[in-house]
Chain A
Amino acid sequence: MTGKNGFLLAAAVAVLCVGLTAYPPQLSGAGRELTVQVWGGSYEDTMRKYIVAPFEQETGAKVNVVLGDAPIPQLMAERGAPQIDVLNLSDDDGTEAEVNNLLQPLNLFHIPNAKSLYPQALRNHNWVVANWGARGIAYNTTMVKKAPTSWFDLWDPQYKGRVMWWDPSGPEGLPLVALFAEALNHRKFTSLNDLQPAFDKMAQLKPNIFAFAHSHADIQTAFTRGDIWFAPEANGRALSMKTSGLPIGFAMPKEGAPAVTSILAVTRGSKNVDLAEKFINIALGSQAELAYATINGYAPSNTTVRVPADLQQYMPYGSAQVKLLYNPDYRLLIQLKSQITEKLEQILR
């Protein structure tokens, strides 16, 4: 290269470099919006602070929040042009969404934090688990001196009228029926007949049942009034009752406890899959997962997260407890739901 050409080339490169530094690269999400559905209340608050804020800063995109459970009927009606990009799902509606082909398969190469998850958190390529609760036994620590170790401790005749159970018409009691059946049969359930031992067992619980709950508020009110001493409750709710001043403890029974799984997924047909995957990656990071543990009482799905010692007993923390988490075949449970509900109504009412 001659001196003059070389000089021109160097000058051109210098101008290019100056130009590139003078105009910083556009944030990948600038001007774009990501719509995220989430359950309202403290779960939403933690999400806003520990996931939405860093995400908006990192990508320049704006996050719209839709409150409530994943609107499966709405997503089915919108098929192909969904309004929501990122879904927060629980086990039952996650299964429903999957069965109805509403989920976008995730590219785990775009979600590096997925490498640090427990194997149970990556059950298939359509979703990842962000955190876990467990539906164990919440109990009144003033009236019950020795923590229950088995579900069937609640059947003790001395606890007549001291147990609150979930209303048969709702979804919360379903996995417990399957759990009891598998604990009594020592094998997985495959049909309604397999559940019969559980129905027989539930019939024996009837005298101990004080009332049926339709919501967490019902259970909290009954504990507050001293009407009940036991209820199947999510660990996070037991923890928040204890934190607000009620004498409530939490126990993980040896038969297992149904997992309350917080699943993250991307809606099929979303126009913002890249941003959605970035959002999920931040949610699986140690900052966000630790926040959900310390603020909301949900155990991390990320193996690298260390939870403070005083909280560990109130959540399924560590691989031994994660193994106790019970995940029934929800597809089959959903198919059998109306029959199970009918049987439970017959037995319990």
Chain B
Amino acid sequence: MAKRGATAPPRERSFALLIVCGLVYLFLIAPMIVVVSTSFTKTAYVVFPPEGFTLHWFAVAFSSQAFLKSMVLSLELAVLSTLCTLVLGIASALALGRWQFGGRDFLVSFFLSPILVPTVVYAIALLQFFAAFRMLGTFTSLLIAHTVLGLAYAMRILVPATVGINTVMEEAAMVLGATRLQALWRVVLPLMRGGIAAASIFAFVVSLDEVVMVIFIGGAQTITFPLRLYSYMAERFDPVVSVYSSLFVVVAVAVVFALARTVGLETVTGGPE
């Protein structure tokens, strides 16, 4: 029996969907393809499509001691600030997600505020703050700044992650002999696994890419990788820039890969466990 307003049979519909999805993906990854491919060009200037093929620029890029030092610094900063963000974030999220108390909503908004304020405004505030404490240009000041920024992103994910956890499981564990801490470690945190993984990615990537705060409160000892790249580009635009930019792409892919292998992508995206 034909229906009014013929609808396409499911098979054709999903083919069209496939095409649209394919185009969207292409649009999303096209900039990355351009950046990575221009790293291989033989010319001394950046051109797309690349002319020739050479690994020369990779050799140049990785022979720079200055850049390697900056890479290590950025990684250290990202890892440490992510850890701090997780510790503070999980603790705060557990409190905010599971208790109802006066001022709770205000606190949730307060934690989210760094995202709402333009980074430049936040950086200027930090400039005044750390100058007063004579902490400008130190690793610690950057760590604090990145932790607070990462926390804002992390809380957006962690608070909803805790709300869904039924305290019954925790109580059951304690009835069976676990201490509060053991219950936290072995019951609550594993239930939050997906949220923690997602929050860590955000905090890590936010710290790695962050350049505005480093410009304002950084110093001679805190030249992070994005800052060094940014300064380099102001003087010269050669395929070495493409090589360094490709590294960010590689890191992103590596993070997703690591997640898929450890906690599984479904836990992060909220799909079926």
Contact = CB atoms under 8 A, between A and B. Distances in A.
Interface of A: 35, 39-44, 64-68, 71, 73-74, 77-78, 81, 83, 215-217, 220-221, 224-225, 240-241, 243-246
Contact of B227 (A39, A68, A74, A221): A68
Nearest to B236: A41
B46 A220 contact: yes
B231 A68 contact: yes
Contact of A74 (B43, B127, B231, B237): B127
Contacts, number: 85
A74 B131 contact: yes
Contacts of B227: 67-68
Interface residues of B, number: 31
A66 B66 CA distance: 12
Contacts of A244: 43-45, 238
Given A40-B234, A41-B235, 19 more contacts: A39-B234, A39-B235, A41-B234, A42-B236, A43-B235, A66-B220, A68-B227, A77-B127, A77-B128, A77-B136, A83-B136, A215-B234, A216-B233, A217-B241, A221-B46, A221-B237, A240-B236, A241-B45, A244-B44
B46 to A, nearest CB: 7
Interface in B207-239: 215-217, 219-221, 223, 227-228, 230-238
Interface in B225-267: 227-228, 230-238, 241
B233 A83 contact: no
A276 to B, nearest CB: 15
B134 interface: yes
Nearest to A43: B235
A215 B46 contact: no
A257 B233 CA distance: 24
Contacts of A83: 136-137, 219-220
B47 interface: yes
Contacts of A74: 127, 131, 136, 216-217
A240 B45 CA distance: 10
Interface in B10-65: 43-47
Contacts of B46: 217, 220-221, 224
Contact of B136 (A68, A78, A217): A78
B187 to A, nearest CB: 48
A268 B116 CA distance: 37
Most buried by A among B43, B44, B230, B236: B236
B233 A215 contact: yes
A216 B237 contact: yes
Contact of B127 (A35, A67, A73): A73
B45 A245 contact: yes
B124 interface: yes
Nearest to A36: B220
B135 to A, nearest CB: 11
Contacts of A77: 127-128, 131, 136
17 contacts: A40-B231, A40-B232, A43-B235, A66-B137, A67-B223, A67-B228, A73-B127, A74-B136, A74-B216, A74-B217, A77-B128, A78-B136, A81-B134, A217-B46, A217-B237, A243-B44, A246-B45
Contacts of B124: 73
Contacts of A220: 45-46, 237
B137 A245 contact: no
Contacts of A245: 43-45
Contacts of B127: 73-74, 77
Given A66-B220, A83-B136, A216-B237, A78 B231 contact: no
Contacts of A71: 215-216
Contacts of B217: 74
Contacts of B136: 74, 77-78, 83
Contacts of B219: 66, 83
A219 B216 CA distance: 27
Nearest to B241: A217
Nearest to B134: A81
A225 B45 CA distance: 11
Contacts of A40: 228, 230-232, 234-235
Contacts of B134: 81
Nearest to B232: A41
Contacts of A39: 231, 234-235
Contacts of B131: 74, 77-78
A42 B237 CA distance: 11
